[in-house]
């Protein structure tokens, strides 16, 4: 079937994929644009996973101040080489992550960073709410509430502020797909005037 | 004696003091410019102390990134009113403090923020170095080394990067003298790429 060049171009812009990758995805999706986007995202996520073990010790520090200077964020984003650290796509990702932290107020980077006692306490609260359900249904409901909890407090699990259809994890995978290096959020802080939490 | 108007002007620029205060300081110092500067600094410090009990819950967040984006600082500076938070002198002070943190790498804000166990450990190290001295001389030497330690690790005790003759405490007192409000460093962080200390 014929793949429209405008679709290839649009897909490349959206996902940052190369020309051949975008074309192949559209072919595999039989021209279905949304399906092709999904295919490319999955490929990016797989690539991100395959890069995840490689050490990421280069990178940049990025700062973001909300207009009014009452909310500020400092974030360290790591990659593997100094070359990528100076890349514009990498810098843009770092800026978007800082913006995300300012607006969405995550507390942890990833679910594995949430202390065990915090998870246990959440579990307890949820368990009390589903007492009347069967054991199986209760556990399922608790898991679902825990997933919601991670989505709310973990940076990489949050919907991305500039495109709520993607998660932060997705947009990182996207940049990994472009730059072909392991990319890792090392740490972040968010200061709000008068907030001591 | 006659006070030179150029001296009054220079003194005002240097210390941010009002016209009458600068003139009075020069008169009290019999025209000696350096002495007048010192008098005004002391007055600023006294004023800062008299304001220190007043609550400072307004303020701004300020960020500083070293060229190259490998060192970044986020700092919260508090004052009493939103009006002062938007003042240019206040913003300039906040910027200079962030610059100071980036360049001079303080760990604490003030000596009272250094944990007791850290002070105890420093004392121990110093004590071992002055074993051969008399008790009195040893204690004096230890005190002097502790003062050096505070000067090195506490932000407000450090020499100011842009004018090593002043301490950070001095430049804060200077701005308090201009703005007549309690000004307080609430917190700061310093990120350096790859540094996990």
Best of B55, B56, B63 to substitute, by most chain A Cβ atoms within 10 angstroms, is B63
Contact list, B65 vs chain A (CB under 8 Å):
61-63
For residue B127, give every residue at least 6 positions away whose Cβ sits within 8 Å of its Cβ, in sequence order, or none.
B138, B142
C-alpha atoms less than 13 angstroms from C-alpha of B174 in its C-beta half-sphere: 23
Decide which of B188 and A15 is more confident: B188
| pLDDT tens figures, A33-59 | 888 888 777 777 677 777 766 677 899
Q: How far apart are CA A108 and CA B59, in angstroms?
A: 26
CA distance B133 to chain A (A): 46
| pLDDT tens figures, A126-174 | 999 988 899 999 999 999 999 999 999 999 999 999 999 999 999 999 9
Q: How many CB pairs under 8 A join A and B?
A: 79
HEC per residue, chain A: CCCCHHHHHHHHHHHCCCHHHHHHHHHHCCCCHHHHHHHHHHHHHHHHHHHCCCCCCEEEEEEEECCCCCEEEEEEEEECCHHHHCCHHHHHHHHHHHHHHHHHCCCECCHHHCCHHHHHHHHHHHHHHCCCCCHHHHHHHHHHHHHHHHHHHEHHHCEECCEEEEEHHHHHHHHHHHHCCCCEEEEEEEEECCCCC
Contact list, B67 vs chain A (CB under 8 Å):
none
CB contact under 8 A, A187 and B192: no
CB contact under 8 A, B74 and A58: no
User: How crowded is residue A69: how many other Cβ atoms within 10 Å of its Cβ?
Assistant: 18
The chain A residue lying nearest B186, using CA atoms, is A194
CA distance B91 to chain A (A): 10
Is residue A177 pLDDT above 70, yes or no? yes
At A31, the pLDDT band (50, 70, 90 cuts) reads confident
CA distance A82 to chain B (A): 11
Q: How far apart are CA B50 and CA A155, in angstroms?
A: 43
User: Is the ipTM beyond the 0.90 threshold?
Assistant: no
Closest to B155 in 3D by CA, of B94, B197, B196:
B94
Q: How far apart are CA B32 and CA A99, in angstroms?
A: 52
CB contact under 8 A, B59 and A192: no
Contact list, A193 vs chain B (CB under 8 Å):
57-61, 76, 78, 85
Asked if residues B142 and B149 have their Cβ atoms less than 8 Å apart, the reply is no
Asked if residues A73 and A106 have their Cβ atoms less than 8 Å apart, the reply is no
The one-digit pLDDT tens for each residue of chain B (197 residues) are 678 878 887 777 777 677 777 888 888 888 888 888 877 777 776 777 777 666 778 999 999 999 999 999 999 999 999 999 999 999 999 999 999 999 999 999 999 999 999 999 999 999 999 888 999 999 999 999 999 999 999 999 999 999 999 999 999 999 999 999 999 999 999 999 988 76
CB contact under 8 A, A60 and B69: yes
Confidence at residue A60, expressed as pLDDT on a 0 to 100 scale: 97
Q: How far apart are CA A77 and CA A58, in angstroms?
A: 8
Residues of A with CB under 8 A from a CB of B: 57-65, 69-76, 78, 85, 91, 187, 189, 191-194
Residue A62: which of B58, B60, B69 has the nearest Cβ?
A: B69
Confidence at residue A5, expressed as pLDDT on a 0 to 100 scale: 79
Best of B55, B58, B191 to substitute, by most chain A Cβ atoms within 10 angstroms, is B191
Confidence at residue A16, expressed as pLDDT on a 0 to 100 scale: 66
Residue A72: which of B61, B71, B191 has the nearest Cβ?
A: B61
The chain A residue lying nearest B77, using CA atoms, is A193
Best of B57, B59, B64, B69 to substitute, by most chain A Cβ atoms within 10 angstroms, is B69
CB contact under 8 A, A63 and B63: yes
Confidence at residue B6, expressed as pLDDT on a 0 to 100 scale: 83
Best of B56, B57, B59, B61 to substitute, by most chain A Cβ atoms within 10 angstroms, is B61
Asked if residues B110 and B83 have their Cβ atoms less than 8 Å apart, the reply is no
């Amino acid at each position: 079937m014929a793949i429209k060049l405008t679709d290839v171009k649009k897909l490349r812009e959206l996902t940052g994929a190369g020309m051949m990758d975008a074309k192949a995805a559209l072919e595999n999706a039989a021209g279905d644009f949304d399906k092709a986007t999904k295919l490319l995202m999955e490929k990016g996520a797989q690539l991100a996973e395959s890069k995840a073990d490689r050490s990421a010790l280069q990178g940049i520090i990025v700062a973001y101040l909300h207009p009014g200077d009452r909310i500020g964020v400092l974030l360290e984003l790591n990659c593997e080489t100094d070359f990528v650290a100076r890349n514009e796509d990498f810098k843009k990702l770092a800026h978007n992550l800082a913006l995300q932290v300012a607006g969405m107020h995550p507390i942890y980077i990833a679910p594995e960073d949430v202390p065990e006692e915090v998870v246990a306490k959440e579990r307890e609260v949820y368990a009390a709410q589903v007492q009347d359900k069967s054991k199986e249904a209760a556990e399922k409901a608790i898991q679902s509430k825990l997933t919601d909890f991670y989505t709310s407090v973990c940076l990489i699990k949050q919907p991305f502020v500039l495109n709520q259809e993607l998660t932060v994890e997705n947009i990182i995978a996207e940049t990994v797909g472009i730059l072909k290096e392991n990319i890792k959020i090392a740490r972040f802080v968010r200061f709000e005037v008068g907030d001591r939490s």
